[in-house]
């Protein structure tokens, strides 16, 4: 049995959503860009009492600059910098240098994210355009990490659309010293994520991180695989903050946006057991300032996301128990949850046979 970790992303010392935040996700461009930012980040980690700190490679910032038509530089001899939405300069040297200064639990190698595209021709072009950069940066990051901060765990980010492209990584990464893999999930449904995790398990991978996702479905998948297959399965997202920023209250069971009638008052404690909802009514909320509303929503959203992780972990020993937990939370009409339960049951029926047979059983679109 491994560990499940839900990294809190998108925070700083001023807006920590709880008195104790066990796992924090930071990135070099925001949190280690200079000595002032580094000191601020170290204070945040101490204030949160974080056990785990993951340092992402700022791939999201590269992705944003690219989408805005900005200038992307990878020069290790120039300072690390980011002027959104116009310009960025980042290299494997900058990533490892930041890890040397911050000493996180785990760092992610530099990568250039592939865009969300539909056509197979466009996807192949996008993959080939960035694969060379990604392999080179992974290898450079691994070499620098081995020399400068071998005590920091290294996860390798894999950017691909299908299994054929994953095989390229298998060839080039064979024998490369690393501690785990990090994968985006924006192009995958539940069966696709589950199949990939089983594929990684068959490759001997023991630690996996799911990038930028914190739905009930993703939390359940990560808990199940941490409990049954991996030494470590983690995820991260900043939806607790972004939802609050847009005034969205997350349902304590489904983690989906809950809509209220502005003309009807009620006690939040009637729909949520979190401490932030205990003494508050809906009209109290409406009559408070925007700052107070956002603070309340941040804390509530983070609490219910964390509680969902605890519940899924407690019931993740088997697909049957986890399925019951998910149905109790989401009901029987949620198609994505039903697909997830079916896929997990299929794994337990399959029981470690041919991995290609599992792909067909799951009908995984990869």
pLDDT digits 0-9 by tens, 199-247: 999 999 999 999 988 899 999 999 999 999 999 999 998 999 999 999 9
pLDDT tens-digit map of 62-94: 989 998 899 999 999 999 999 887 899 999 999
Which one, of 72, 41, 39, lies nearest residue 54 by Cα?
Answer: 41
Peptide bond before 141: cis, by omega within 30 degrees of 0? no
For the record, the structure tokens of 4 come out as: 């499940």
pLDDT tens-digit map of 162-203: 899 999 999 988 889 999 999 988 778 889 999 999 999 999
Hey, where are the domains in the chain? Answer: 3-184
Model pTM score: 0.94
- Res. 161: pLDDT tops 80: yes
pLDDT tens-digit map of 259-316: 999 999 999 999 999 999 998 999 999 999 999 999 999 999 999 999 999 999 999 9
Residues 3-184: name the CATH superfamily: Queuine tRNA-ribosyltransferase-like (3.20.20.105)
pLDDT tens-digit map of 341-364: 999 999 998 877 788 888 888 888
- Res. 60: pLDDT tops 90: no
Mean pLDDT (the chain) is 94
pLDDT tens-digit map of 33-48: 999 999 999 999 999 9
């Amino acid at each position: 049995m491994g560990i499940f970790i839900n990294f809190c992303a998108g925070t700083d010392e001023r807006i920590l959503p709880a008195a104790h935040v066990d796992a924090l996700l930071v990135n070099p461009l925001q949190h280690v860009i200079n000595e002032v930012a580094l000191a601020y980040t170290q204070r945040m980690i101490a204030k949160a009492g974080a056990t785990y700190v993951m340092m992402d490679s700022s791939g999201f910032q590269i992705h944003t600059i690219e989408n805005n038509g900005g200038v992307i530089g990878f020069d290790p001899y120039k300072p690390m910098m980011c002027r959104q939405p116009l310009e960025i300069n980042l290299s494997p040297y900058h990533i490892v240098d930041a890890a040397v200064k911050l000493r996180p639990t785990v760092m992610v190698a530099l990568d250039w994210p592939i865009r969300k595209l539909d056509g197979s021709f466009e996807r192949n072009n996008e993959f080939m355009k960035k694969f060379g950069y990604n392999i080179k940066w992974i290898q450079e990051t691994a070499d620098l990490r081995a020399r400068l901060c071998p005590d920091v765990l290294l996860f390798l980010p894999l950017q691909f659309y299908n299994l054929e492209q994953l095989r390229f990584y298998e060839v080039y990464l064979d024998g490369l010293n690393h501690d785990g893999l990090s994968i985006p999930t924006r192009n995958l449904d539940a069966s696709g994520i589950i199949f990939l995790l089983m594929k990684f398990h068959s490759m001997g991978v023991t630690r996996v991180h799911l990038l930028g996702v914190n739905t009930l479905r993703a939390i359940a998948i990560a808990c199940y695989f941490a409990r049954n297959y991996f030494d470590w399965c983690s995820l991260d997202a900043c939806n607790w903050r972004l939802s609050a920023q847009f005034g969205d209250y997350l349902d304590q069971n489904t983690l989906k946006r809950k809509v209220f009638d502005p003309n009807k008052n009620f006690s939040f404690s009637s729909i949520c057991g979190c401490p932030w909802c205990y003494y508050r009514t809906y009209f109290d909320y409406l009559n408070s300032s925007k700052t107070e509303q956002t603070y309340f929503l941040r804390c509530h959203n983070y609490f219910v996301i964390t509680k969902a992780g605890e519940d899924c972990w407690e019931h993740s020993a088997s697909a049957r128990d986890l399925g019951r937990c998910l149905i109790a939370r989401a009901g029987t009409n949620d198609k994505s949850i039903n697909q997830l339960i079916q896929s997990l049951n299929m794994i337990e029926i399959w029981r470690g046979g041919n991995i290609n047979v599992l792909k067909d059983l799951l009908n995984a679109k990869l």
